[in-house]
Amino acid sequence: MAEHSEISDSKDESFVEKIAEKFHGDDSSSSSSSSDSDSEKKSTSSPSSRKSKIFRMFGREKPVHKVFGGGKPADIFLWRNKKVSAGVLVGATAIWVLFELLEYHLLTLVCHILILSLAILFLWSNVTKFIKKSPPRIPEVHLPEEPFLQVVSALTIEINRALAVLRDIAAGRDLKKFLGIIVGLWVLSILGGCCNTLTLFYIAFVLLHTLPVLYEKYEDQVDSFVEKAMIEIKKQYAKFDEKVLSKIPRGPLKDKKRA
């Protein structure tokens, strides 16, 4: 009987030890899982902090789609709907061919289109009375005001920004912007001598339809290249400033600011 009680006691002790080991194992696994989750959180948070430090062209913080307004114009420029974007580009190309290559005039083209369309509809409406068929259904066209107001407001904001920049440059406050604007206007004057205004607008339109979507596709590579180029430009500008610009006598406005 004593041996039997000892055996049962040893069995109970081993059972209790197994339960304790099981609980300790669960605690250690939970602590290891929590430490793993903490390490995963750190690893997941570190790329986001790295992404926030990545150089972006023009110092932008929003995606390319948001920079273009995030609406239908952005979808067209970034080829979200390929059929619509291709149709707009083909339409612009047809207009350029008509006015530039075929030397058509805008007023003549509009009048010819209206004459042709009105003549076809008028004859069709009268012929259907004799052949006893239903007349053509001419839809009522109403242009919404909201898209036009959005375009006008966006243009107003950009024009006001450009006027503010020109005012600062004319006041002699920013030499970098002054040099950039002078070079840009000089390049535009050269392009204007090579081709007319319509061709310039068409080239700009084609670039708007190609460059943003290519930049969005190869964003990291382009930003990395631009970052290196900007560092090199800043180095060259610092040398130019030290050798040339610093020797130019400063105006009274900058002297007052420094005082």
Cα dihedral across residues 241, 244, 246, 248: positive or negative:
negative
Q: Which of 37-41, 106-110, 170-174, 241-245 has the highest mean pLDDT?
A: 106-110
List Cα–Cα distances, 232 to 31, 68, 178, 184, 225, in angstroms: 50, 29, 20, 20, 11
- The confidence score (pLDDT) of residue 252 equals 54
Per DSSP, 81 falls in state S
Q: Which two tokens stand for residue 258?
A: 């420094």
List Cα–Cα distances, 99 to 66, 104, 209, in angstroms: 34, 5, 20
- The confidence score (pLDDT) of residue 120 equals 92
- The confidence score (pLDDT) of residue 103 equals 84
Query: Taking a C-beta distance cutoff of 8 angstroms, is the pair 212, 204 a contact?
Result: no
First to last CA, the chain: 106
3-state secondary structure of 249: coil
List Cα–Cα distances, 163 to 49, 141, 168, 207, in angstroms: 37, 37, 9, 24
Question: CA 160, CA 141: separation in Å to the nearest integer?
Answer: 33
Say which residue the tokens 């995963």 belong to: 40
The more confident residue out of 231 and 53 is 231
Q: For the chain, where are the E strands, in sequence order?
A: none
- The 10 Å Cβ neighbour count of residue 227 is 14
Q: Which two tokens stand for residue 182?
A: 């002078």
**Distance from CA of residue 64 to its chain's centroid?**
2
Give me the chain's average pLDDT, please: 75
Banded pLDDT at 87 (limits 50, 70, 90): very high
Banded pLDDT at 237 (limits 50, 70, 90): confident
3-state secondary structure of 83: helix
The more confident residue out of 129 and 47 is 129
Evaluate if residue 204 carries a pLDDT over 60: yes
Which residues are within 8 A (CB) of 124 and not within 5 positions of it... i.e. 6 or more apart?
135, 136
Banded pLDDT at 36 (limits 50, 70, 90): very low
- The confidence score (pLDDT) of residue 90 equals 93
Query: Taking a C-beta distance cutoff of 8 angstroms, is the pair 205, 90 a contact?
Result: no
- The confidence score (pLDDT) of residue 55 equals 67
| pLDDT tens digits, one per residue of 169-202 | 888 777 778 888 888 889 888 887 888 888 888 9
The more confident residue out of 112 and 196 is 112
The pTM of the full predicted model, rounded to 2 decimals, is 0.54
- The confidence score (pLDDT) of residue 166 equals 85
| pLDDT tens digits, one per residue of 98-108 | 888 888 888 88
| pLDDT tens digits, one per residue of 67-80 | 777 778 788 888 88
Average pLDDT over residues 233-252: 77
Residue type, 84: V
Say which residue the tokens 């912007």 belong to: 177
- Residue 162 has, within 13 A of its CA and on its CB side, a CA count of 7
